[in-house]
Amino acid sequence: MPTPRSSRKKRKEVFALGAEAVAEGALLAGCSFYAGYPITPSSEIMETMASRLPRIRDGVFLQMEDEIASLGAVIGASLAGRKAMTATSGPGFSLMQEHIGYACMAETPLVVVNVMRGGPSTGLPTSPAQGDVQQARWGTHGDHSIIVLSASDTQECLHMTVTAFNMAEKYRTPVILLLDEVTAHTREKITLPLPGEFEVFNRVVPTMPPEWYKPFEETVRGVPPMPPIGSGYRFHVTGLTHDVNGFPTQRPDETVDLNHRLFRKIDQFFHDIQVVEEYQTRDAEVGVVAYGSVARSARYAVDQARARGIKAGLLKLGTLFPFPKAAALRLLSSCRAVIVPEMNMGQMSREVKRVNGGRSSVRTLNRVDGQIITPSEILKALTQV
């Protein structure tokens, strides 16, 4: 029997930007639709998709008139059965908030990449920041559940994009991938995985006869099957609170069922959603909780601290929301102090403090001058606690 073609192929190494790795990851995950509006520092994602998508089967790339329309097009494509994404930065992300809420309500799988830059407003277009962390969680109105991921290096950009698509498809939800300017604009050698090397999850489609199909019916996982529009299964999509048939309702019992299900479909899979990486935490006495490019500084600082005899450890957050409480508690229980360095005035440290419950002393280390937090700053903090 001849060896399958894929196993004979050699993995390719490329020297790529984080942004280019995001595009590679999206294509590996099966993304075939991109609609966007360019904005520094996310434009390289759009540029890569613009050159790659037209070359794949049924690939569609659209430059829209603004970010509102971009996410609108992505929602439409997703409802029509495509895996779809867009990428933007702070100002565009603000414009997308309303549609993110719509995607939550209509349970539309999609990926929004936000490459964070200095803010507020137009801010520092070419400088890194992490100011959109709480916005990614709470930016759209109405109580809702959402998944927010982050990546810190180029290989992880690829990986996390695949993960973002998988989670979006698995839980029928928008997934926000938060990067920062440094992560998106760092070129590194990465190994492109072969197709099939990553698990790729596709949304569950209904198998019952179309006339039996109830589009927003409760299921074991809380995630109803999702047919592509035009496949014979009829359903109504609305941002209004709707019943199991997708039509507007004001009945309290149907309203609470919908809202509870929207939360439960994510809440009951925390173990699957919360991705973290623990580095030297086993015997750590002082800890660092970091994400994005700052996690790289933190890792270097932990190595330097260890070399000086300080038992330091790092909890790197891959998932920002739902907040990885269990992993944070493990670190907080074993460390006398935990430092949370971030390029904002303390958005993730709020979460760490929230779950701390007096276990440890949580210290913030903040920088909002458009510069990345350096290893020496974190090392200094580690030596002082």
Partner 1 sequence: MKRFTALERFEIRLSGLGGQGVITLGKVLGGALALGHGFHVTQTQSYGPEARGGASRTDLVVSTVPISYPKAESVDLLVALSQEACNTYYRNMKPRGILVIESDLVRQPPSNFYLGLPFTRLARDKIGVPQAMNSVVLGALTWLLPFARQAVMKKALAASLPAKVLDKNLKAFSLGYSQAKKHFGPPPALWDGNGDETEEPGD
- Summarize as ranges the residues that interact with partner 1 (CB under 8 A): 13-15, 40, 125-127, 153, 182, 185-189, 293, 296-297, 299-300, 303, 372, 374-376
The residue (of 32 and 293) whose beta carbon lies closer to partner 1 is: 293
Distance CA 273, CA 170 (A): 10
Q: Compute the least distance from the CB of residue 179 to partner 1, in Å.
A: 13
- How far is C-alpha 285 from the geometric centre of its chain's CA atoms? 30
The residue (of 13 and 267) whose beta carbon lies closer to partner 1 is: 13
183, 116 contact by CB (below 8 A):
no
The residue (of 15 and 138) whose beta carbon lies closer to partner 1 is: 15
The residue (of 167 and 288) whose beta carbon lies closer to partner 1 is: 288
Q: Residue 309 is which amino acid?
A: G
Q: Which of 128, 47, 133, 119 is nearest to 90 (CA)?
A: 119
Q: Compute the least distance from the CB of residue 296 to partner 1, in Å.
A: 5
The residue (of 265 and 296) whose beta carbon lies closer to partner 1 is: 296
The residue (of 32 and 186) whose beta carbon lies closer to partner 1 is: 186
The residue (of 131 and 375) whose beta carbon lies closer to partner 1 is: 375
Distance CA 82, CA 42 (A): 22
Q: Compute the least distance from the CB of residue 303 to partner 1, in Å.
A: 7
Distance CA 360, CA 276 (A): 20
Q: Compute the least distance from the CB of residue 369 to partner 1, in Å.
A: 13
